[in-house]
Amino acid sequence: MRKILHADCDCFYAAVEMRDDPRLRDIPIAIGRSREHRGVIATCNYPARAYGIHSAMPTARALQLCPHLTLLPGDFDKYREVSRQIQAVFHELTPLVEPLSLDEAYLDVSEVTRFEGSATWMAEWLKRECLARTGITVSVGVAPAKFLAKVASDWDKPDGLTVIPPERVEAFVARLPVNKLHGVGPATGARLEALGIHDCSDLRRLPLERLVNEFGKFGHRLYELARGVDERPVKVERERKSVSVETTFDRDLPDLAQAREALAPLHERLRARLQRQGSPAIAGIFVKVRFDDFSLTTLESRGQAAEPDNFERLLAQAWARAERPVRLLGVGVRLPPEAARQQLSLPL
């Protein structure tokens, strides 16, 4: 039986700021752009969450909910350094670490013999060491499968530790709301709700054939997750699928002409980022546009080089979908799968 930990720092960016300035601990704070600029909240502390603020919320909306919210610009070099320290603790426990972002990771501790092989004791040690070395609290979930470990880490935040031993998986999953399942977003959740499916015990009553008819290949995945089955391994190296840059403008770009003008600096940033990564092979390019009504469209083209003219053509097509002022503009490239990249690098 596998032993998987999911470690998730509590409101990470905000936690680093509160650690460095204790005056911020008991007031609502958020990491985001200033009141004079537009953008979204990267994260916020728990006093801010009490007002309904959450990550990815437009800053303007957050300020409506909490006019006395303290906005901080964020220091991502500092956050990356704290993340490096926390990841070092993870690697002291096991080499099988799959980072998901700066503030969370999966750890496979199935073969770890320290702490008499107890995954619970390992999780307790992990929490103590991260707090002692960095001043950051980490919530940890322990389970035999990745999706259950992730659910468990969020079960008792902040500073939580939830363990789902093998003998409790059946009962735990049966009561689990379907919107907690890995891969179930708002659209799939709404479809399940329309079918009268609220938790996994409801989901188990649908035969596999019905789920496949309703949800295609994902129906098979739902069938397994409703029974606590998740065989995904912890991947030490996560494959990068794209490289991109984007900008949220202080004022909407009123027309396509001004959006085209904004492409040049974005293209330069993208080119510099690709150079830092060794100029990888490119499978295609894409453009992302968020309009002033917050609608979002992404248009991509396979086989195209990352040249300004190609991005301009994609931008024109994307803008034509709404023909509205542009709030955010992004450009990026798709990378070929790792296996294909290795094949391309083989000598003739």
Which residues belong to the annotated binding site?
8, 103
Contact call for residues 269 and 306 (beta carbons, < 8 A)? no
Active-site residue, from 81, 92, 104, 246: 104
Residues of the binding site for Mg(2+): 8, 103
Active site residue 167: no
Q: Which residues are designated catalytic? A: 104
